[in-house]
Amino acid sequence: MNNAESLEKRVAYSFSDRSLLERALTHRSASIAMQVQHMERLEFLGDAVLGLVISEFLHDTFPEKAEGDLSRMRSALVRRESLLEVAAAWRLIPHLIVGDSEKSKQGIKSPSIAANAVEAVIGAVFEDGGWESARRVVKAAWKPLIVGIGRVDTRDAKSRLQELTQARGWGLPEYELKDNGVGVTPRFEAVCLVQGKVSGSGSGGRKKLAEIEAAEQAWSSLNDE
């Protein structure tokens, strides 16, 4: 891998088995042509590790908070926007290995690939160094995001948008979803309609992520009116 050491410094972890890091950065679109493993299994593992580290932190830091509040705080910290902030801090995109179909002038067509790669890198750290190593990496990477989490609006974008539209007498938002099929990135594309008009759009590897991104865009647009 090119510049693996510089990336390890930003992640704050040095791999004993650097092939794990390479796998975490390899998208499915590149793995077929290169005949190598891709990030998805490590992403699955990293998602679980990230959720547990954040859950432990919130449980210990906010003993007065109810379970529902903790769940909303966790969702705010592990959603795609947070993963993309970490990807930007790690300067991850130049290190991603994608097929020609996913390349663009900015490096990759879909930001979801960078978000997924963050989870995959966490999974790779866990595989290589165990729980304590992964825990340290997550806590260091999420430190800027955790500041003030107890005071922020932790409702997801769909909830905030619904409250806004109902308060203005516009009824409930509606979502139209397109499934591009397995192996396509992003798999799902969503549009959010308010009063029958498209107010936001989004995409993601899961239906919920696509709808949340569309709702976030709609909320920002309508809130400025």
Tell me which residue of 49, 70, 23 sits closest to 137, measured CA to CA: 49
pLDDT in tens, 133-155: 999 999 999 998 888 787 656 56
Beta-strand pair 188-194/174-179: antiparallel
CATH topology of domain 157-224: Double Stranded RNA Binding Domain (3.30.160)
3-150 CATH: 1.10.1520.10
Enumerate the domain spans of the chain: 3-150, 157-224
pLDDT in tens, 58-94: 999 999 988 888 888 888 899 888 899 999 999 999 9
Tell me which residue of 26, 100, 84 sits closest to 204, measured CA to CA: 84
Ligand-binding site membership of 40 (annotated) = no
- 157-224 matches 3-150 in CATH topology: no
Confirm whether pTM is higher than 0.75: no
Residue 111 CA from chain centroid, whole number: 9
Ligand-binding site membership of 116 (annotated) = yes
Ligand-binding site membership of 56 (annotated) = no
**Which residues are annotated as catalytic?**
47, 119
